[in-house]
Amino acid sequence: MKVDLSGVSETLLMALWGRAKISKEDNPVLKDSKAIEIVENLIEYDFEKLDKHLQKYTNVVWLVRARMFDDTIRRFTAEHPEATIVNLGAGLDTSFSE
């Protein structure tokens, strides 16, 4: 799918791209195979544009935060299997698939 975004709407790709990028590193903070699949195979977009604007430190901070949310949600849903989780303002987030 070709994606043509700019400005604020383009930021929805940041979480997806960050999860995919960090997941491919050795010993990643989190592993998100779905994000990798989407970035590499399903979305036609120049993700290198994001690399130019974001430092690795910023991406790692986001991913540590994402990992903390993922772990908290997993614990909560293990205790409350009928729960519904709504992730507002998170961009394209694949944490539900892991």
Q: What are phi and psi of 31, to 5 degrees?
A: -115, 120
How far is Cα 55 from Cα 72, in angstroms, rounded to an integer?
26
Q: Which long-range contacts (CB under 8 A, 24 or more apart) does 64-67 make?
A: 64/29, 66/15, 66/18, 66/19, 66/30, 66/93, 66/95, 67/29, 67/30
User: What pLDDT does 31 receive?
Assistant: 84
Place of tokens 């993700």: 47
Q: What is the pLDDT along the chain (98 residues), one digit of tens a residue?
A: 677 666 666 777 877 888 888 888 888 877 889 989 998 998 888 888 777 766 666 767 777 777 788 889 889 999 999 998 887 766 666 666 65
What's the confidence (pLDDT) of residue 57? 66
